């Protein structure tokens, strides 16, 4: 496949001002008539040929300005429709294509999900519906007429406002016409047709516009759509208040479908969701699901301004909408819930998904410079690191200049397809700062390490902090330059933060030091006692911190730091350090026992005094870094079994230290009354269930009994699933019995059974591979549904010890599935292949076996571009 480069960007030679689509839905033979109004782009090449994109299309008819076009005037293949000598002025084309939605297993373009017709057009799926200029800088006004059999599709939805509906006389068919007045790129087009139930609510925007909100779901599931609708109303109000953004159509529809390649899609006025991120009731959704639904509903809604009103000039600018919109949804959740707890959760995700991507062969900049398959660039780097870059920008220029910069961006770029340069220019203007150096965050891949050390001169009352930064090489970028690192810090004394006094230019005030060079020394004056430095407060930059504080100093930070993030981080650092040392083969386990003692005592004391004040935070404190986090920290020649053994032994020892506290605390944390999904209740359950997991490790028999008891008594899925997950840590007949009981209790609930599949796929035992193979035959599993594949096979691929089995069977199993799945759904297959992204950090035996499995994939004939690209880059 050709490499597409950012530097080769050229404006389109042609523009399409309006599109009139007439789509007659049929399970196998859907007819699409597209009337498109073309105009030469004044910024393009005059007299250029017209080439419209296609993908697996069959052309049925073609007219120019209403007259059938002679076959000699154009060429057509399933991939392109070319008119070599188009008229040198405005003209229309009427293009008729026929598509088979039932045969569309790629879930891109028009497809059917459980009989519902739906579309997914980002990034380049519209070309699977009709021939088009399928690029985000071609923006058009759409009018869409949909027609279908009434019985099959009583609901017909598209973008924009509904302008007409009617029956087709003498037939069983009906139609609906939708008009979207906002010009948009083709990737935001959507339609839905099917038998769907809905819940609805009226909404009036801050600027007085009336909007009808609705959430559409499979028949019988409207009772599970309320939380999504409630979240929608809350995030609309929030966007008005925090960003001054109002909604801009008469209707806003959300539709849940059960077959979807990603989480959701922000199509203008018609968001289409993976039903996993819509459906919620206490029996079938966990606290985590409620939080994820709230966040993703908000994310897609926020795209209406950051993505739709202002879209991307080209796909290299993907972070322009995705990084910014993730930042916006994170802020929304922080305001709705607990800011520190949300930050901790987001940093955990960033480290586990993005830092690992940055450390491996698939590393790329937030704005990549080249790609073969854009669908492989919807990554944690573009999304999560992209959001971190926005967060740093806000820290660097301050809240007021950030808001003014956003206002300027909305005003200046509204209705355009923009670039990162245009975005940054708004903040340079609002802040008066030169952001040229800051912009390096978009160009340079890799996670910087900040190395810090401090010296205290008691006589002079001076504290000097030496800071250095370096970024390891990544594919295609051997040499790295310093980036701009905002470091929020405090100097913590016996009674809390000491005042910060310095004449350094690097000090921006308000506890912010900016490290923008390779090294920096900063001296604070009038420091009246030897301080403990608290660096990177709130995780102020997406970087690693290498600061050698003794455990005693970290324990002091845990009890005295005013920054909640660093309180959490201090104990994590103690655990990481001990696990990294103990996780190396042949290491001495004595040190780990000492750490277990220190951490156990710290947790125990903390739980006795503070836990009930903020259980959600306490749950985060108790949750150790995962074995995969430790493997990443070790970074080379990793033996996953040794890492896992160290992790298990530390967790069990901590569990033992807490046993005395446990029954009383669990009783005190029990929630009363019916289930409520609010953050405070969820926090109590989170801590209570964290303790259950530790109990299962420390005292398996008693732990198993507690799991059974909790499973039987629970009135909600959160507690039942936690019981199942804790029980998976205890091998034996009681575990198998609970697994069976769970399956019986939730038969007919695919989304709940996904959790059941995943819990089993994550069991860290050598029998798991056989179990997973067996589960592939279970009626709850299907290779055709992305959620099922992600739960069972994706779960297995995330199982550190079993995916990375020493005999290579885990790699062989997953790579065989990738190859099989590639024939039906390349996007899901290539994401699964991404599980190999950390193969180079393994010890030589596993490294060789992983490489062989990747090689087998790479050599398979007729691979999709998606899978071939990942295999090639992973092996390079
Ligand atoms: N913007 C959406 C991305 C998306 C997507 C991309 C490729 C293939 C299928 C897809 N479904 C959704 C989702 C978002 O970031 O909001
Ligand atoms: Zn998005």
126 contacts 187 by C-beta, under 8 angstroms: yes
Average pLDDT estimate for 550-571:
98
Distance in Å, CA 389 to ligand 1 centroid:
20
pLDDT digits (tens, 9 = 90+) for 613-657: 999 999 999 999 999 999 999 999 999 999 999 999 999 999 999
490 contacts 462 by C-beta, under 8 angstroms: no
Distance in Å, CA 817 to ligand 2 centroid:
28
Dist CA 10 CA 673 (whole Å): 61
Looking up residue 573, the CATH number of its domain turns out to be 1.25.50.10
Q: For residue 307, count CB atoms less than 10 angstroms from its CB and return exposed for 0-12, middle for 13-18, buried for 19 or more.
A: buried
What is the domain range of residue 303?
Answer: 196-309
723 contacts 735 by C-beta, under 8 angstroms: no
Residue 429's SS3 state is helix
Average pLDDT estimate for 793-802:
99
Percent of the chain exceeding pLDDT 70 equals: 100
Average pLDDT estimate for 530-554:
98
811 contacts 836 by C-beta, under 8 angstroms: yes
Residue 555 forms part of a structural domain: no
802 contacts 842 by C-beta, under 8 angstroms: no
DSSP state of 71: G
Ligand 1 atom index nearest CA of 262: 11
Query: Residue whose CA is closest, atom 1 of ligand 1?
Result: 265
Handedness of CA 717, 723, 726, 730 (dihedral sign): negative
Looking up residue 45, the CATH number of its domain turns out to be 2.60.40.1730
Do 399 and 453 belong together in one domain?
A: no
Ligand 1 atom index nearest CA of 378: 6
Do 38 and 151 belong together in one domain?
A: yes
Do 411 and 486 belong together in one domain?
A: no
Please say if the pLDDT value at position 569 is more than 90. Answer: yes
Q: Of the residues 194, 219, 247, which one is the last residue of a structural domain?
A: 194
Which residue is listed with tokens 């030496």?
Answer: 466
Average pLDDT estimate for 712-729:
98
Q: Of the residues 194, 222, 253, which one is the last residue of a structural domain?
A: 194
Do 749 and 780 belong together in one domain?
A: yes
CB within 8 A of 760, min separation 6: which ones?
Answer: 728, 739, 768, 771, 772, 775, 795
294-to-277, 380, 756, 775, 781 alpha-carbon distances in Å:
8, 20, 23, 31, 27
Ligand 1 atom index nearest CA of 261: 9
Ligand 1 pocket mutation, candidates 255, 264, 320, criterion most atoms within 8 A of CB: 264
Q: What is the DSSP string of 447-466?
A: --EEEEEEEEETTTTEEEEE
Q: Look at residue 586 in the predicted model and tell me its pLDDT.
A: 81
437 contacts 420 by C-beta, under 8 angstroms: no
Ligand 1 pocket mutation, candidates 136, 378, 382, 826, criterion most atoms within 8 A of CB: 378
Looking up residue 490, the CATH number of its domain turns out to be 2.60.40.1840
Dist CA 281 CA 570 (whole Å): 37
Residue 556 forms part of a structural domain: no
Do 45 and 74 belong together in one domain?
A: yes
Do 148 and 201 belong together in one domain?
A: no
Do 520 and 479 belong together in one domain?
A: yes
Please say if the pLDDT value at position 821 is more than 90. Answer: yes
Nearest to 30 by CA among 94, 105, 107, 109: 109
Dist CA 178 CA 787 (whole Å): 31
Residue 757 forms part of a structural domain: yes
The total of other beta-carbon atoms located within 10 Å of residue 59's CB is 17
Ligand 1 atom index nearest CA of 827: 8
pLDDT band at 306 (very low <50, low <70, confident <90, very high): very high
Q: Look at residue 45 in the predicted model and tell me its pLDDT.
A: 98
Do 527 and 587 belong together in one domain?
A: no
Task: For Cα atoms 346, 786, 838, give the angle at the middle one, nearest 5 degrees.
Answer: 50
Q: Give me the number of domains the chain comprises.
A: 5
Average pLDDT estimate for 172-180:
99
Do 624 and 611 belong together in one domain?
A: yes
pLDDT band at 56 (very low <50, low <70, confident <90, very high): very high
Average pLDDT estimate for 409-419:
99
Task: Report the Cα 57 to chain-centroid distance in Å.
Answer: 31
CB within 8 A of 368, min separation 6: which ones?
Answer: 6, 316, 377, 382
Nearest to 34 by CA among 129, 140, 112, 160: 129
Nearest to 690 by CA among 715, 711, 668, 719: 719
pLDDT digits (tens, 9 = 90+) for 327-339: 999 999 999 999 9
Dist CA 752 CA 767 (whole Å): 23
Dist CA 214 CA 197 (whole Å): 10
pLDDT digits (tens, 9 = 90+) for 467-502: 999 999 999 999 999 999 999 999 999 999 999 999
276 contacts 312 by C-beta, under 8 angstroms: no
Residue 558 forms part of a structural domain: no
Residue 613 forms part of a structural domain: yes
481 contacts 534 by C-beta, under 8 angstroms: no
pLDDT digits (tens, 9 = 90+) for 750-787: 999 999 999 999 999 999 999 999 999 999 999 999 99
Mean pLDDT of the chain: 98
Do 220 and 125 belong together in one domain?
A: no
Average pLDDT estimate for 203-231:
98
pLDDT band at 576 (very low <50, low <70, confident <90, very high): very high
pLDDT band at 588 (very low <50, low <70, confident <90, very high): confident
Residue 557 forms part of a structural domain: no
Query: Residue whose CA is closest, atom 6 of ligand 1?
Result: 122
Tally the C-alpha atoms within 13 A of residue 258's C-alpha that lie toward its C-beta: 19
Looking up residue 416, the CATH number of its domain turns out to be 1.10.390.10
Residue 148 forms part of a structural domain: yes
Do 661 and 724 belong together in one domain?
A: yes
pLDDT digits (tens, 9 = 90+) for 829-863: 999 999 999 999 999 999 999 999 999 999 999 99
Pairing of strands 140-149, 14-24: parallel
Q: Which two tokens stand for residue 840?
A: 């180079």
Percent of the chain exceeding pLDDT 90 equals: 99
Closest ligand, as measured to the CA of 320: 2
Query: Residue whose CA is closest, atom 13 of ligand 1?
Result: 265
Q: Look at residue 587 in the predicted model and tell me its pLDDT.
A: 86
Residue 552 forms part of a structural domain: no
pLDDT band at 585 (very low <50, low <70, confident <90, very high): confident
For the complex shown, is ipTM > 0.90?
yes
Q: Of the residues 541, 575, 605, which one is the last residue of a structural domain?
A: 541
Dist CA 221 CA 626 (whole Å): 36
Residue 404's SS3 state is helix
* Ligand 1 proximal residues by C-beta, below 6 Å: 120, 122-123, 261-262, 264-266, 299-300, 303, 322, 375, 378, 827
First to last CA, the chain: 16
Q: Look at residue 298 in the predicted model and tell me its pLDDT.
A: 99
Q: What is the DSSP string of 271-322?
A: EEEEGGGT---TTT--HHHHHHHHHHHHHHHHTTTBTTTBEESSGGGHHHHH
Answer left, alpha or beta for residue 731, where phi above 0 means left and psi between -120 and 50 means alpha. Answer: beta
Please say if the pLDDT value at position 590 is more than 90. Answer: no
Looking up residue 300, the CATH number of its domain turns out to be 3.30.2010.30
Closest ligand, as measured to the CA of 297: 1
Distance in Å, CA 194 to ligand 2 centroid:
25
Distance in Å, CA 265 to ligand 1 centroid:
5
β-partners of residue 389 are none
* Catalytically annotated residue among 147, 266, 294, 300: 300
Burial of 664-688, coded b for 16+ CB within 10 Å and e otherwise, reads: ebbeebebeeebebebebbbbbbbb
Quick check: is 294 catalytic? Answer: no
Please say if the pLDDT value at position 589 is more than 90. Answer: no
Do 665 and 770 belong together in one domain?
A: yes
Nearest to 870 by CA among 299, 475, 393: 475
Q: Look at residue 33 in the predicted model and tell me its pLDDT.
A: 99
Distance in Å, CA 467 to ligand 1 centroid:
39
Query: Residue whose CA is closest, atom 3 of ligand 1?
Result: 265
Dist CA 374 CA 323 (whole Å): 16
């Amino acid at each position: 496949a050709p490499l597409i480069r950012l530097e080769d960007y050229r404006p389109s030679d042609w523009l399409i001002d309006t599109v009139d689509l007439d789509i007659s839905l049929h399970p196998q033979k859907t007819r699409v008539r597209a009337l498109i109004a073309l105009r030469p782009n004044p910024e393009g090449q005059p007299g250029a040929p017209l080439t419209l994109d296609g993908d697996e299309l069959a052309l049925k008819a073609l007219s120019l300005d209403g007259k059938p076009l002679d076959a000699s005037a154009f060429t057509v293949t399933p991939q392109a429709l070319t008119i070599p000598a188009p008229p040198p002025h405005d003209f229309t084309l009427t293009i008729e294509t026929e598509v088979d939605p039932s045969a569309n297993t790629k879930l891109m373009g028009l497809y059917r999900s459980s009989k519902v017709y739906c579309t997914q057009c980002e990034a380049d799926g519209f070309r699977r519906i009709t021939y088009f200029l399928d690029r985000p800088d071609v923006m058009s006004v759409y009018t869409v007429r949909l027609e279908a059999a009434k019985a099959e599709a009583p609901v017909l939805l598209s973008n924009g406002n509904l302008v007409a509906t009617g029956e087709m006389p003498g037939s069983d068919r009906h139609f609906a016409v939708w008009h979207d007045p906002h010009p948009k790129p083709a990737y935001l087009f959507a339609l839905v047709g099917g038998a769907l139930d809905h819940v609805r609510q009226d909404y009036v925007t801050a600027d007085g516009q009336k909007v009808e909100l609705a959430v559409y779901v499979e028949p019988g599931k409207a009772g599970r759509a309320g939380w999504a609708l409630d979240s929608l109303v809350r995030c609309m109000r929030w966007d008005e208040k925090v960003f001054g953004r109002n909604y801009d159509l008469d209707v806003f529809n959300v539709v849940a479908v059960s077959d979807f390649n990603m989480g959701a899609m922000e199509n203008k006025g018609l968001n289409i969701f993976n039903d996993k991120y819509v459906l919620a009731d206490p029996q079938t959704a966990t606290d985590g699901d409620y939080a994820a639904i709230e966040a993703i509903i908000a994310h897609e809604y926020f795209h209406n301004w950051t993505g739709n009103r202002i879209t991307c000039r080209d796909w290299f600018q993907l972070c322009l909408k995705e990084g910014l919109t993730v930042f916006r949804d994170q802020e929304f959740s922080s305001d709705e819930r607990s800011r520190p707890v949300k930050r901790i959760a987001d940093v955990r995700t960033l480290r586990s998904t993005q830092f690992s991507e940055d450390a491996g062969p698939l590393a790329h900049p937030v704005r990549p410079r080249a790609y073969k398959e854009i669908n492989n660039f919807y990554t944690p780097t573009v999304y999560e690191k992209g959001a971190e870059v926005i967060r740093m920008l806000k820290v660097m220029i301050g809240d007021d200049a950030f808001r003014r910069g956003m206002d300027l961006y909305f005003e200046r770029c509204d209705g355009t397809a923009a670039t990162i340069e245009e975005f940054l220019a708004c903040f340079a203007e609002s802040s008066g700062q030169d952001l040229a150096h800051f912009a390096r965050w978009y160009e340079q891949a890799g996670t910087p390490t900040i190395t810090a050390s401090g010296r205290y001169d008691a006589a002079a009352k001076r504290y000097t902090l030496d800071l250095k930064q370096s970024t390891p090489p990544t594919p295609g970028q051997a040499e790295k330059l310093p980036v701009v690192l905002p470091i929020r810090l405090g100097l913590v004394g016996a009674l809390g933060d000491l005042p910060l006094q310095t004449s350094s230019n690097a000090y921006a005030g308000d506890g912010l030091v900016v490290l923008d060079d390779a090294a920096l020394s900063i001296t604070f004056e009038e420091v009246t006692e030897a301080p403990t430095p608290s660096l990177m407060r709130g995780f102020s930059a997406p970087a690693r911190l290498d600061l050698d504080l003794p455990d005693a100093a970290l324990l002091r930070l845990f009890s005295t730091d005013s920054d909640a993030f660093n309180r959490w981080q201090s104990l994590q650092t103690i655990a990481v350090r001990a696990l990294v040392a103990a996780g190396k083969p042949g290491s001495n386990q004595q040190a780990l026992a000492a750490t277990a003692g220190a951490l156990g005592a710290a947790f125990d004391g903390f739980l006795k005094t503070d836990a009930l004040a903020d259980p959600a935070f306490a749950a985060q404190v108790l949750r150790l870094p995962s074995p995969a986090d430790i493997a990443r920290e070790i970074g080379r020649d990793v033996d996953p079994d040794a890492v896992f053994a160290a992790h298990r032994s530390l967790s069990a020892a901590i569990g033992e230290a807490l046993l005395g506290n446990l029954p009383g605390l669990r009783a005190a944390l029990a929630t009363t009354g019916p289930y409520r999904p609010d953050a405070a209740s969820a926090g109590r359950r989170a801590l209570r269930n964290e303790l259950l997991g530790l109990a299962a490790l420390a005292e398996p028999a008693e732990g198993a009994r507690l799991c059974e008891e909790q499973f039987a008594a629970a009135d909600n899925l959160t507690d039942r699933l936690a019981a199942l997950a804790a029980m998976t840590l205890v091998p034996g007949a009681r575990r198998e019995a609970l697994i069976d009981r769970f399956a019986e209790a939730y038969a007919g609930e695919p989304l709940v059974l996904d959790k059941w599949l995943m819990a089993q796929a994550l069991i860290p035992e050598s029998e798991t591979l056989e179990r997973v193979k067996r589960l592939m035959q279970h009626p709850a599993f299907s290779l055709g549904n992305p959620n099922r594949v992600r739960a069972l096979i994706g779960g297995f691929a995330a199982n550190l010890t079993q995916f990375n089995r020493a005999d290579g069977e885990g790699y062989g199993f997953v790579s065989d599935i990738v190859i099989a799945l590639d024939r039906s759904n390349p996007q899901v297959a290539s994401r699964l292949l991404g599980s190999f992204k950390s193969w180079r950090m393994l010890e030589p035996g596993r490294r060789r076996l992983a490489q062989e499995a990747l090689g087998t994939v790479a050599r398979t004939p007729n691979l999709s571009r998606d899978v071939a690209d990942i295999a090639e880059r992973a092996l390079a």
